[in-house]
């Protein structure tokens, strides 16, 4: 099995989310809308950065397969300086169907024809 230089941070992010108190929900929601992505690129299950979140931390250019959110991502944040390409197939095979510019976010992938399709993400140079 080919090793990748990509480290998955999704488990950490989910653990932090579960530690937030009930009283902090409204504040947490506001914070989430402002920015909830501390990794290189983050996928969200629903539009407007809602639902489950999966984080990807790229330390170099490379490809990462989507885990729990495979074929479920409906919005994304890319706070990194890298351009990200989203693929319908695993292992970034074939041609990408969506590209995220550095420091960009998209609250709804539907208008890009890529709702619930992303199976892998590749970081490439801008």
Give the footprint of Ca ion on this chain (CB under 5 A).
71-72, 74, 88, 116-117, 119
When the beta carbons of 8 and 45 are compared against Ca ion, the nearer one is 45
Quick count: other Cβ atoms within 10 Å of Cβ 42? 26
CA 82 to centroid of chain Cα atoms:
13
Give the three-state DSSP class for 76.
strand
Quick count: other Cβ atoms within 10 Å of Cβ 47? 15
- H/E stretch holding 125 reads none
Smallest separation, CB 22 to Ca ion (Å): 26
Contact (Cβ atoms closer than 8 angstroms) between residue 53 and residue 78:
no
When the beta carbons of 72 and 123 are compared against Ca ion, the nearer one is 72
Q: Which residues contact 95 (CB under 8 A, 6 or more apart)?
A: 87
When the beta carbons of 27 and 108 are compared against Ca ion, the nearer one is 108
Smallest separation, CB 50 to Ca ion (Å): 9
When the beta carbons of 103 and 121 are compared against Ca ion, the nearer one is 121
d(CA 22, CA 38): 22
Smallest separation, CB 19 to Ca ion (Å): 25
Smallest separation, CB 116 to Ca ion (Å): 5
């Amino acid at each position: 099995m080919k090793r990748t230089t990509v480290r998955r941070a999704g488990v950490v992010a989910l653990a932090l989310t579960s530690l937030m108190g009930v009283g902090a929900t409204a504040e947490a929601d506001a914070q989430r809308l402002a920015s909830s992505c501390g990794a290189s690129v983050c996928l969200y299950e629903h539009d407007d950065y809602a639902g489950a979140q999966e984080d990807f931390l790229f330390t170099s250019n490379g490809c990462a397969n989507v885990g729990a959110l495979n074929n479920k991502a409906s919005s994304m944040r890319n706070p990194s300086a890298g351009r990200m390409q989203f693929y319908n197939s695993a292992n970034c095979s074939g041609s990408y169907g969506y590209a995220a510019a550095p420091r960009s976010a998209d609250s709804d992938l539907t208008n890009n024809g890529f709702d619930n399709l992303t199976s892998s993400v590749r970081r490439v140079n801008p």
